Amino acid sequence: MIVALDHAFLTIQEGGEDEARRFYGDVLGLEEIQRPEGLQRSGGVWFQAGGEEVHLGTDDAHLPAKRPHPGFRVGSSTELDELARRLTSNRYDVEWDDRIEGRRRFYTRDPFGNRIELLADL
């Protein structure tokens, strides 16, 4: 029945769209996509990575996702290192985790405190 994951949804603070564009678009390099016409009056911004989407919706009672998170696959280990450097140069913390054999990965947090995983196969 289920054929694929369509999108992940995270909340951001109201008015945080420009900050989300800087992090998800400029730093992570995701492509911003237009939200459907029926949702354009509500706050938020959407991005695409490959065939999957990340939907960021505004919430006046935003609480960051501490453990639930999207995991973004990076093309190579070298690209993962470059992304880690880009994040740290933009003052985002990077926490490496080697608990999965055959993969390199790290966690970071977006400007709203949401946990983000980035990983590459060895």
Q: Please state, in angstroms and rounded to a whole number, the distance separating the CA atoms of residues 38 and 87.
A: 34
**Order of all β-strands in the sheet with 71-73:** 71-73, 115-121, 103-109, 95-97
Whole-model pTM: value is 0.93
Longest C-alpha distance within the chain, in Å?
44
Q: Please state, in angstroms and rounded to a whole number, the distance separating the CA atoms of residues 28 and 4.
A: 23
In this prediction, what percent of the chain has a pLDDT beyond 90? 84
- Residue 70: inside a domain, yes or no? yes
- Residue 28: inside a domain, yes or no? yes
- Residue 64: inside a domain, yes or no? yes
Q: What H or E segment, with its residue span, contains residue 18?
A: helix 17-20
How confident is the model over 55-91, as pLDDT tens digits?
999 998 999 988 999 999 999 999 999 999 999 999 9
Q: Are 94 and 50 in contact (CB under 8 A)?
A: no
- Residue 76: inside a domain, yes or no? yes
Output the domain CATH number for residue 46.
3.10.180.10
What's residue 111's pLDDT? 97
Domains held by the chain: number: 1
Domain assignment of residue 68, given as a range: 7-121
- Residue 79: inside a domain, yes or no? yes
- Residue 82: inside a domain, yes or no? yes
- Residue 1: inside a domain, yes or no? no
DSSP string, 44-71: EEEEEETTEEEEEEE-TT----SS---E
- Residue 2: inside a domain, yes or no? no
